[in-house]
Every structure is written in structure tokens, then in C-alpha cells.
Chain A
Amino acid sequence: MRSASEMIDVNDRPAKSSRPSVGRSGGMDEARLRQQAIGVKLRQMFDEVVSEPVPDEFLEILRRADAKRADGAG
């Protein structure tokens, strides 16, 4: 499921207007750095939940629904 990570770099690139071009002042770099830092933390926040173990309740609910399907068919 980690195919997302390849897309992140592409998606997280700052908008064209904020991309520093050669000769621009350091302000642009600073803004880009901040946006990158926020992007890193954003993914960390999301991935923290993704990596939590799934509560049994989820699988139990699905198992029960699946059992009902088998009953209904048989």
C-alpha cells in the first residue's frame, strides 16, 4: 500500500509561483522550506494513524457481514 510515497514528492511540490528561481531572494527559499517541513509533518501525522494496529472490531464487523453473505447464498 506504500505506492503513495512515490506520488508524494510530485504532489507536495510547492505551486509554481512559490518555486524559487535562480537569482530570487532568500525569502522564497525560506517559504519553500517551511512548506516542505509542513508537508513532512502532514505525512507523518497521517502515517502515524495508518501504522496503528487496526482494532479487532473492524475485522469482526466485516467477518459477520461476510458470514451473512454465505448464509444468504446457501
Chain B
Amino acid sequence: MSALLPPADNASATADNARNNRPMEDRFKTDLVALIPHLRAFARTLTGNAAAADDLAQDAMMKAWDARASFQMGTNMKAWTFMILRNQFYSDKRRSWRSTQLDQEAAERTLVAIDDPSSPIALDELRLSIAKLPPEQREALILVGAGGFAYEEAADICNCAVGTVKSRVSRARKALQDILADGSYDRDGRPAGEAMRSILSDAERLSAVR
């Protein structure tokens, strides 16, 4: 937006500009605050680690705030901020040499850290299983299966074709079911198929309540 404005060569021009944008920026800020819980959730699934996820979500929030002038009001702000968060995640990852293998360990540490006795066991198993998916399948599945995005929106967020998202989601679902069914998420002592059974029974219980 600033590129369209005449160069602000004095302080009062800048002040006028800021005053004119003020209501729009306030609106932007309100919308951004409302998106924080969703950014935290997406970051948690990408990193598998609560502390790292909040760092990532905060970075993404500030990147979005700094880039507010380039956001087109009326377009999908949730998708826009998720795209920023995702880009941030992958650029952090490149910098910090962390391999995707570490996600599994991170997920296990998170489990220990959360240690919520009221948390149903099936959720823990799902977290561990999701951590085993390749990152591009995991993010596609989360965006479409949990984040409420259409395939087209997920494709924009991941900067890939719609067909690619569809095939990633489909492969992720298949892989997740296999991991859960044969217990290959390395949860010691529990018989194969236990996770799938507990997820099925939990889901039945949940849908009965609704």
C-alpha cells in the first residue's frame, strides 16, 4: 500500500498517513488477536512442542503485524497468517539444521510435559502418530482436516497445487490409519491396534454427546 503513496518527505505527512490508517489498523489488530489461538494450534502441530510453538506463533504474529499494510482487507486473514507462520517455520527449520526426525522426539517430550491425567489416551497416540507423518502430509491434513480450510485455501497456504494438497491429505489419512492400526508409533507395551480401538471408542463417545 505504501508504494502507492507519494513519498513522505516530512513528519506531518507520515502523521496524516498514520491517522488515516488508524481505524483500519485497529480493525486489523482486533482480527489478528482473534486469530492467535488458531496460530498457536497450527504451530503446535507443526513443531510438536508447546514452547517452540508459542515462539513460532509469536514470530508469525509480529510478521503479520509488520506486514499489515500489504494485507488486503476483506481477503482471508486466517489463511494469510497461516501462510506467514508456515513460511516462518520452514525458514527457522532450514537455519537450525533440525531434521524432521526430531519431531518425533519433540512430540514425546511434549507428552511428558503436558502430562494431563484427564487427557484421553487416544489423543496422545494421535499426536505421536501425526509426528511420524512427513511434514508436507502433516500440514495438509491439519489444515484441511482440523483447521477448516478448503483444499484451495490449503493450496495457497502451502504454495502448491490443489491436486497436490488433495493427494497429500489422502496419503496422510491412509498413513495415519496404518500407523494407528499397527501400533508403529513406538508406544511401548501396548498391543498393536490398541490406538485405533481407543480412537474409535472415543470418537463414538464424542459423537454420541453431540
Contacts and interface: CB of A to CB of B under 8 A. Distances in A.
Contacts of B150: 7, 10-11
Interface in B83-107: none
Interface in A12-39: 12, 14-15, 31, 33-39
Given A11-B145, A38-B176, A42-B145, A59 B199 contact: no
B156 interface: no
What range describes how many residues of B lie at the interface? 35 or more
Interface residues of A, number: 45
Contacts of A40: 202-203, 206-207
A74 B33 CA distance: 24
Interface in B103-133: 122-123, 126-127, 130
Contacts of B204: 37
A1 B14 contact: no
Contacts of A51: 37
A3 B96 CA distance: 36
A4 B147 contact: yes
